[in-house]
Each structure stands twice: as C-alpha cells, then as structure tokens.
Chain A
Amino acid sequence: MKKAVAGLGMAAVMAMAQIPPPAPARKAAAPAPKAAAPKTTGAATASYKDLKYPPPKPIVTPSMEPVTLANGMRVFLVEDHDAALISGMAVVRTGNLFDPKDRVGLAALTGQAMRTGGTRTRTAEQLTVLLENMAATLDSGIGESWGTVSFSGLEENADALLRAFQEVLTEPEFRQDKVEQARQQLRAAIARGNGDAAAVLRREFTNTVYGKDTPYGWPLEYAGLDRITRGDVQSFYQRYYFPKNTMVAVWGDFDAVQMQAKIAKLFAGWTAEQAPVAEFPKVSGVAAAGTFLAKNSEPTLTQFAMGALGGESRDGDFAALEVMGEVLGGGAASRLGRLLKPGPGIRIGASWAANFDHPGLFQISGSVPTFETVKAVRLARAETAGMRSAEVSEEELKAAKERLLDRLAHAFDSKAKAIERLMTYEYFGYPKDFAQQYQKALEGVTRADVLRAAKERVDPDKWTLVVVGNPITFDEPLDKLGAPVTPIDLKTVAPKPAAVLADEAERQRAKDLLARAQAAAGGSEKLAAVKDYTLEASFQFDSSAGGMQVTETDRWMAPSHFRQDSAMPTGKISAYTDGASGWITTPQGTAALAGLQLKQVQGAAFRAFFPMLLSDRTVGRAVKAVNDRTVEISDKSGQVVRLATDPETGLPESARYETATATGEVAVTETYSDYRETGGLKLPFHISITAGGQNYAEVTVKSFQANTGLQVKDLEKRP
C-alpha cells in the first residue's frame, strides 16, 4: 500500500524551506546582457508574468441555516459525502475577557478541564479509551472571546461520538486532580514565557497597547492562578454553558433530517437557564505611547514591535487598510521587507489586523541584527510615514491585492475552514456573505483609498514601541529615538539546578582538593575578596600555529564580566561578554558575539583563574573529583574543565578542556608553572598550551593587579 511520505525525503523539503529569502529587488544590480536573448514565442518560453488570469472565483461557502431546538440551542448541519467522516463544533459565548481580575487564567483552566476532567458518568481515562478505540478526537478550550468543544471521527461511530460530545459539553465533572493538572500546565506556560523572545514581545506589545489595566492586557500570573478553586471552575462553567448561549455545527456524511432529530433528542435534557451573557468589555484605554524595553541576553537578534490599535473587520476602510499594511510590510518584496540585508532570522514586516468585535493591532514588527536595532526602527518609521504622504504605485497595489485575495481563497480551502468561518460570522453578528462582500471590497480598493485610509488611521506619533533585546549590543541607545525608555520587568524564573549531579562523596573530595588549592593560592578569604583583576600577558604561538606574538590584556569583574584585548600583528581584537552575550571588534568591524566566538569567550571567562578555584562556592557550578588530584568543574551552559592539582603543593598544575572550533572540538591542555606571589595571591606566571596534542602557545604573564575598581561601563565600552 502506498505510504504518504517515506520520511527520508523530508530533509530536502526542509532544505528548501531554508533557502534564504531573495535578494531585494531594488538592489538587484543585474549585469546587463550584451544582447537581448533570442526571443521565441509559445508555451515553451513564455514568461509566467505575462499570464492573464481570470478574476478570482467568488468564495464558496456552504449554506447553513440554523435550527433552534426547544431548549434554545442553535444547530447548523452540513452534509458532506466526500468521505465517511463526521465532525462537529460547539461555540459558547464566553472567554478569558470574563476572567475575574484576581483569578486570571480561570477561563483557560475551565476550557481545558472540561475534557480532561471527565464527565459525570465517565472518567477522563475512560473517555480516552473510548476515543482511541474509535480513532476519534474530542477537544475543549476557551480562548479570548469564545469557548469551543469539537470532535471528529468515523461516520459509523456517529452515535457514540455525539454522546461523548454531549457529555463533555453539558455535564463535565472537573475532577479535582485534573483541575490541578491543568493548573500545573498553565504554571509551566508562565515559566516558559520569558524564555522565548518572540513570545515575550508578542505578550508585552499586546498587553501594553490594549492597556495592562484592562481585561485585554491583564497578564497571567502565579498568584491569580493559585487562587482558583474547583468551585470557581464549576461556577464559571455554569454561568456560561447553557443552551441559549450555545451554537453547534455538525458536518459530514449523514442525512441532515435524521441528524437533526438525533441531536434534538440528545440535547433535550439540557435545560440549564442563566441570565443572558453581557457584551464583551470595550477596549477603552488609550494605548501607552512611548518606548518599552525588555532586556535579555540574545546575542545576535533584537525583536521589536511598534504600532497602535487597528480596527474592526466591519470598518468601511478595512480592505484599504489591509492593502496598506500589505504594501508596507507583507513579505520580502514589500517596502519594509527590502530595508535590511537578508540573513538567517532577519525579518521585518507589517500588518493591519482587525477583530470582529474590537480593534485589532496595526503593528510593524521585526527581528533584526542587534547592531542595527535603532537604525531598523528609524527606517521602518520613515517607510510608514511615507504611506501617508504619497499614493502607492499601481504595481504595488495590484500585487498586494492579489496576495490578499489569494490568502482569502486559501482561508476557505476546506469545508471545515469554511464552516468555522461562517460560525464566526454568526457569532459576532456579521452577514453570512461577509467573505464574498469582503472579496469584492478588496478587488475595488484604489490607490486613493489606500492613501486616504493611511492618512486617517496611521499616526506614528502615537505609537507604542516594544523592544526585546540586549542593549549593550545596540548600535545606539534606544532613547535616541526620541522617547524616554521604560524598562519592562521580566520576572525571573528560579534557576535550574546545575547540570552535573555528582554523588556526595565525589563532591566532597572535589571540595577538599579545591580547599587545598585555595589555601595554597592565598586562602579562600583572600580569593573571594578579588572582585576584579587586570592581567597582561604575552602569547608566543608555536610555529605550527602561525608563530605570531600577541600581547593580551584580560579584565575580569565579578560575577562574570570578562574582556579581552589582543594586540595582534594584523590589528587589535577586543571582545566582551557579560557571561551570556557580548560583542567582538576586529579590524573588519564590530559584531555581536555569536556561535563559536561566543562559546570561546565564554569559555575563557569560565576558566578565569581565581574564580575557577572558587567553583565549589559559585552558584550554578558543579564540582566533582575524577581522581585523587583532579576536579571536574562544569556549569549548566555546558562548559567543563578538569583541573589537576599538584599533590606536593596543592596548587593547580594543569587545566584540560575542549574548545569549539570551526572544524570541531579540540582538546586543550594548559600547564601552569612559575607560581609567583602578588598581593598575597599566588598565580602562575607561565602557561604552556597544547591543542589537539600539538604545542600551541607559550604564555608569559607580564603583570597582574587585583581590585583596582574596574567598572562595567569601562569593560563594555567598545573601542
């Protein structure tokens, strides 16, 4: 039997997806051909650009007339005989906009626990077995402004499936342990929340623009989540889940008349009554204009979003505004798309988004090289201002409209999608033929419409700008953009335990060895008192490694600031890291530390001599003894070093580690000798380095000074 995909081919599909975006058309300085290519006509050589397409076909939507059951529930049925399947969806007027302010998360938790908490007659586990046996799906959830229960399976199992659907919708049991499980999952989502810069940006931008003191902007937090009880969940469910507040659509391979009778019978006993559900809260607040910065330690890319409230789908200008957003920032060929040199992860775009019952967001967002952060924001602002000052070109208009019309066609490319859309229209009180009307409106948008709409609705002076990035690597300070910068406090998550779990005996032996080394090097007190140091050394590289002589200055500051300035025959190289990220300056220019370079500089900082000796008392580092004289030190980022001590003196004798290079990991050994005392501390003044078993360099320390009062701002200052 034919298998859909033999898997191995996926590599090629992935590779295709990774092809970098095309070069910007503006810069396409094509070498001019000497003579026009011989022109032949006909199908074999015609250009696709000359094809004349008929206008897009009107959007096809199934006809669905609601039937209202005796209990007030509205039902839509659509026959579809292509495959012997049945699917359905209930839509309930509720949403997290109705979360109590002190219990944000209640709606989400209720939505999840409806299915996972089992029903009056079946536990969740029984439900799972039933569904597995039928190879069927059944899910529930509550989003911003509606709740859903949906199912899908074989038509031959319609009765059993509908019954399970009805139970989850009308008699969920919310068993305590499953409420707890749902809470833990939401807690985990909060914990993950700050890990992904794009997610932080999305959350912060949305919440800031809608207003953090409105239901649209309340953040999900541990305290509120922990307050929610099973009783809260049950009351929330009871308030919103009643027949008059519910619509159900079922589609598939059945006879509509029979199905209607079946559903009427199934839901006849559901007679719960509640007062009508109020309107959703209005978006009230004026968005907080200004610049907001959430600091992270991303080494290469800054994420930003700027914009303001957009509009609703029913606005007369929605089509013109969507075209405006598309010309400005829809894809690589748009005005914004051409601003920056393409590269991995680099992207900048815009969209005018609308919601059905409250304003969506007009936003310009990007993921740009951290060294071009301020430049990118400035350029994007200027391009947007340009939308208000002149009409877009005919080609831009045509291309944008075509893309939007294509997208509209794909939004209705299956029956399930079309039915879900129609349910949405019904739910928010839109006309049934809204899709067809909108298609016509899009086709009719003119250049003048776009300009007028941009002038009326886009005002860059009132924008909110949110930046998630690492300010030490920005090209200019953010306040150069003209507004004061408000920091966003990202609540930190408890640190993870160190990576290496050694057993107690090994840890104790390691501590003993380190204690001896600390004592020999000047005593742990003295070592711990070193808050910064400056070390000058001369490197003589082996002839096999190029034979160069290099003078290097290392500056270190607690806890993990590290700067290295090297004077090479070819010029100066400086690098700085704050432990997580940093920059490097070479004669070719400055760049954010990334990849191998970042690893290498972090490794050097990790192995700074005195801090290394104190590893047993450093948070985030793990130590264990490998043998009688060797300690292995590691941290959670994957740095590992094995420090061998001299059995006679107790002082470190050598350090072994692997360092990443372009061609793979190389094993490096540093052998310490010529220990000298300076300011009560002992340190090696000579270091021999071998790499991959070959002599690599001889290092002679010229000077060492501790606690000279170094400042972070001096270390992070670029040459």
Chain B
Amino acid sequence: MRVTGWGVLWCLGAAWLPAQNLSEFQRKVTEFTLPNGLHFILMERHDAAVIAFHTYVKAGSVDDPVGQTGLANLVSRAMMKGTETLGTRGWEGEKKALDAAEQAYERLQAERNKGLRADAGKAGVLDTQWRMVLEVAQTWVDPNAYVRAIEDSGGTELSLKPLPDATEYGYTLPSNKAELWFLLESQRLTHPVFREFYRDRDLVLQEHRANVEGKALPRVQAALMATAFEAHPYRNPPDGWPSDVANLGVADAQAFFAKYYVPENMVMGIVGDIDPAGARLLADKYFGGIPARPAPPHRHTEEPPQLGMKTAVVGAAPQGLMAIGYKRPDERSRDDAVLDVMQALLSGRTGMLQGELVEKGIAQMAVAQATFPAGREPNLFVFLLAPAAGHTLDDVQNGLNGVLGQLQNRPVSAEALARAKAQIRVGALRRLENNADLAALLPAYYAGYGDWRNLFRELDDSSKVTVEAVERAAIRYFTPVNRTTVYLAAESRGEALPGRTGGQQ
C-alpha cells in the first residue's frame, strides 16, 4: 500500500501504561513555572549523554487572523532565521536596511490600499524600490546561521512543526551542551529577527502552487477541509490562501509573535541527561527576563452542526481519488479512544480496509485517519480511497460503505480488537522510549489537558474499549448527515485538468 503525504498522519497517539509506570515516570519528572508564567517539564533519563529539548507554542494556523491565513506558518519559519546576534553580518547595518525595507513596503501597501484610485505607475516604482532595499538587506544576512549553530554544536533531530493547533520546535544535543539550547531558544523568543521574511513568503507560495495546484492528494485534502468546515478555521489551508499569503508583511508577523509567543502561552519539554537543579538555574538566567504578558484571548468560532451530506468535485485526475470525512468530537471526548481503536481496526496489513477493498482488487489505496487535521477542536475521521484499475469511484465508495456497515451491524472479533489495541499500545510505548518524542508529548499533554499525566490516565480508556463501544461509535459517527465527500473524477484522455496556460518561451 502506498500512502504519500498522509502516511505521516499515521502515528498513533494513544498511550497507556500500567500504573507502576506512571509512578516510575512521576519520580523522574520535575515541573516548574517561572514568575513570568513560562512552564517547564523535565524528565531525567541518564542512560545516554544526550538531551532532547522542545518548545510548544499553543498557537497554530487556527489562530491566523481573518484575511491573514498562513501567518502562523510564516512566523514559524521566521523563527529559524536567528536573532540580532546570530544570522547577521553586522546588525547595525542590517537593521537599517530592514527598517528601510519595511518603510518602503508600507509606502507600497499604502498606494495599493487606495484600491481603484491607486496609481499603477507609482505602485510599480514603489514595488521596485522596496525590492531593491530588500536586496541590500539580504547582503547583510549570514544565511542559515541559526540552524548551522545548532548542527555544528552536535544538534540532531532538528524539527519545526507548524500545526493547526500549535507550533513546535525541537532538537537534541549532547548533554554537556545543554546551555546552548537555553541561550539560543531564549534569544529567539526575546528578540528574533524576521529576516528573509519575503523570500519565505515567495517560497510558501511556490510550494502551495506545486502542491495544491499540481498534485492530486494535497488538492483533495485541502478541498475536504474547505468543504467540511464552514466556520471553523480548520477549513483554511495551514500554509494559507495564496492571496492572503501574498499580502503578509513583517509587521503582521511581529504582531502575531507579540500576541501568541508569550510565556503564558508556551510550554518547554526537556528529556534526557539533565540535572533539574542546574536546569532551573539556567531557565531563570535565560528565560527569567522575558516579561510576563497576558495570555492571548480565546478564539470563539465554533463549527455549526452539519445538517446534511456534502459533496464536492474538485477536478479530474488520471486515476480518480476520493476523500471522505465524518465529523467527530475533539480529543477530550470520551469517544476519542474508541475512534483511535477504530482506526487501528481499519488500518494496516490485517485491517478491514486492506481485506475488503485492497485485497479484493477494488481499491489501490484505502487509508483511515481518526483525527484530522488536528484534535483540539471537533474535527474529521477521514478516509482516503483510490480505485484500482478497472474500478470506479462508486465501487470504492460502496466498498467503504460495506466496511462501515459491518462495523455498525456486526460485532468485531475479539482477536481483531485485541490486535488493534496491541498496535496502539506498541506505538505509544515506542514513543515513550524516545527522548525527542517524549519531550514533545509532555508539553502537548500539559497544554491540551492541563496535566502531562493525562498521557497515562487517558490510557486506560483505550484498553477498556469494548466491542459494543466500537459498534455504538460507528453508528453514531458514520452517518450520511455527518459525511463530506470530495473527489477528483477519473480523467478521460484528452480532457486534461484546466491547467495554467503558459506564455511563449
């Protein structure tokens, strides 16, 4: 089975452990909150001389202001560009150039904002001026210096995740270099420099074009979200709508940063060969100076109830591709664990989708994903289906309906249920073994549930899922009213997608 793109959505989130593991964990975990509100969760693991560090910012693409989708994503990239002391060939000169570029950009935007009364000629001149100043600013940049500083100091597993509900940053260092993280991380949180912002903006637009306009899978994925959600920002592409992105500026990014990257809204995870007392001193020294700021205001938009089945056709692809999403509640719902078990029942080499759709030659690909695009608010249980040669989209849809009908009408076998639980459990335990994964999980659970211990408590939920619970949840959620179907029709030869028309060479 080939799963592109969606494969990474695959990781199982469930985790459960016997109670003694929780107490074992509890002994090794230290938590503290700085006076400014920044919370740290540390776990000691001294059997290897490395430490994984993780910063969890409780703000993601769902927090993009109206008309500024893609902003959280661009801010996350800007955070990799360094500070006033790192990433520059001379801060004083660079600052002048960056200020000049912003002023030029403001003049340009002011002219454009006149709308119909804007003077195209003047806007053209202003645009050229702005780009020239940007070129000057670029000459002051020491490219990639922030990332290089980490890697040259033995940093590995460098990660940046701009997610819908959160933005996460992490890497692993040899334990004698722990102070490097405290220094670099605190500096970019106190005075980041958003250099190369407009280059990144162009890059995001290019990637968007290559993905959503060029490839079947991201297109279907984006259309599914936009169709299923009417009000909730899960409807927006996490990298933004191109026309929004094209108008984002450094000032917007700075405003977003000031509002959301505040101590109260972030959690730090540290796992490995760390001494908690020493870490506390370093935290005070480097992060203590960040001023306390109010937590960002709560966002209120809720998705209204879906009243009927939705369907959208979003073009054609050589082979046809279909995504089906069923509305489901958020990750704190009692049914969350049941839906995870359901995903495991449906997936994998011995899962129902493989047996009923792929092995019977109806689908070339059939994938289930219990939580999409993220879990903090009500979201979708998603299926992705591609018909096998000689079969139509109707065939795969009927096949899927058959599978879901089975879940609703026939109790799953005890063997299948045990297998699903074992898969979830192994996935969860492997993540607990890994420092970097755990450094990400502890803050995520703290931010999402108020306590990292939920990582364990919630656990029992999964182990207690019963045959009846599966049946009940299948009946409750896999209903036509809950469903959104999006597909790319099979392409007939000669009727290509309406693509871009190119100019002459």
Interface positions of A (Cβ within 8 A of B): 1-13, 15-16, 19-23, 28, 30-35, 37, 42-48, 51, 53-60, 62, 81-85, 128-129, 132-136, 153-154, 157, 331, 333, 399, 402-403, 405-407, 409-410, 412-415, 418, 544-545, 600, 659, 661-666, 691-692, 694, 696
Contacts and interface: CB of A to CB of B under 8 A. Distances in A.
B238 A133 contact: no
Given A83-B433, A84-B21, A132 B89 contact: no
B373 interface: yes
Given A11-B239, A414-B434, 7 more contacts: A3-B13, A16-B160, A32-B90, A42-B289, A132-B348, A406-B153, A691-B504
A83 B17 CA distance: 8
Contacts of A51: 177, 179-180, 183
A4 B437 contact: yes
A154 B13 contact: no
B294 interface: no
Nearest to B21: A84
A28 B440 CA distance: 37
Given A85-B426, A133-B415, A406-B153, A692 B6 contact: no
Contacts of A59: 49
A9 B73 CA distance: 9
Given A2-B331, A5-B8, A409-B49, A16 B158 contact: yes
Contacts of A414: 48, 433-434
B154 A16 contact: no
19 contacts: A1-B336, A2-B331, A3-B375, A6-B161, A9-B238, A12-B160, A15-B207, A16-B160, A20-B144, A31-B140, A42-B289, A45-B187, A85-B430, A85-B433, A135-B427, A402-B153, A410-B50, A412-B48, A659-B505
B211 interface: yes
B502 A665 contact: yes
A34 B95 CA distance: 13
B33 to A, nearest CB: 19
Interface in B380-430: 415, 418-419, 422-423, 425-427, 429-430
Nearest to A80: B47
B148 interface: yes
Contact of A692 (B15, B158, B176, B503): B503
**3 tightest Cβ-Cβ pairs between the two chains A and B:** A406-B154, A664-B502, A33-B90
A33 B153 CA distance: 27
B422 A154 contact: yes
Contact of A403 (B50, B152, B286, B503): B152
B374 A3 contact: yes
B93 A23 contact: no
B6 A60 contact: no
Contacts of A33: 90-93
Contact of A415 (B47, B156, B186, B425): B47
Contact of B49 (A5, A21, A60): A60
B79 to A, nearest CB: 11
Contact of A132 (B17, B93, B350, B504): B350
Contact of B422 (A35, A46, A133): A133
Nearest to B419: A133
A12 B458 contact: no
Contact of B186 (A37, A43, A81, A331): A43
Instruction: Identify which of B93, B149, B180 gathers the most chain A CB atoms within 10 Å of its CB.
Output: B93
B187 A44 contact: yes
A48 B149 contact: yes
A43 B435 contact: no
B166 to A, nearest CB: 9
Contact of A15 (B148, B184, B203, B375): B203
Nearest to A52: B179
A9 B48 contact: no
B161 A12 contact: yes
B110 interface: no
Given A129-B350, A132-B419, A413 B48 contact: yes
Given A44-B187, A129-B350, A4 B440 contact: yes
B49 A56 contact: yes
A405 B432 contact: no
How would you classify the secondary structure of chain A's contact residues: helix, strand, loop or mixed? Answer: loop
A57 B184 contact: no
A135 B426 contact: yes
Interface in B413-463: 415, 418-419, 422-423, 425-427, 429-435, 437, 440-441, 444-445, 448, 455, 458
B312 interface: no
B258 interface: no
Nearest to B143: A22
B392 to A, nearest CB: 21
Contacts of B84: 37, 45
B371 interface: yes
A576 B145 CA distance: 41
Given A2-B444, A5-B9, A56-B174, A12 B89 contact: no
B76 interface: yes
A665 B186 contact: no
Contact of B176 (A3, A44, A57, A662): A57
Interface string B186-202: 11001100000000000
Contacts of A83: 17, 21, 429-430, 432-433
Given A406-B153, A545-B504, A9 B163 contact: yes
A59 B49 CA distance: 7
B500 A7 contact: no
A186 B441 CA distance: 41
A153 B286 CA distance: 42
A25 to B, nearest CB: 10
Interface in B119-169: 139-140, 142-145, 147-149, 152-154, 156, 158-165
A566 to B, nearest CB: 13
A135 B423 contact: yes
Contacts of B423: 135
A331 B152 CA distance: 9
Interface string B452-481: 000100100000000000000000000000
Interface in B46-74: 46-50, 73
B299 interface: no
A692 B501 CA distance: 8
Contacts of A133: 350, 415, 418-419, 422
A692 B502 contact: yes
A42 B170 CA distance: 24
B227 interface: no
A545 B191 CA distance: 51
Nearest to A81: B24
A63 B372 CA distance: 44
A399 B422 CA distance: 46
A132 B375 CA distance: 28
B273 interface: yes
Contacts of B239: 8, 11-12
Nearest to A56: B176
Interface in B328-377: 331, 336-337, 340, 348-350, 371-375
B334 to A, nearest CB: 12
Contact of B86 (A47, A661, A691): A47
A446 to B, nearest CB: 21
A32 B91 CA distance: 11
Interface in B13-45: 13-15, 17-18, 21, 24, 45
A685 to B, nearest CB: 24
Given A31-B89, A56-B174, A84-B429, A48 B184 contact: yes
A600 B505 CA distance: 10
Contacts of B176: 53-57
A51 B500 CA distance: 53
B304 interface: no
Nearest to A51: B179
B172 interface: yes
Contact of B148 (A22, A30, A132): A22
B18 A8 contact: no
Nearest to A157: B422
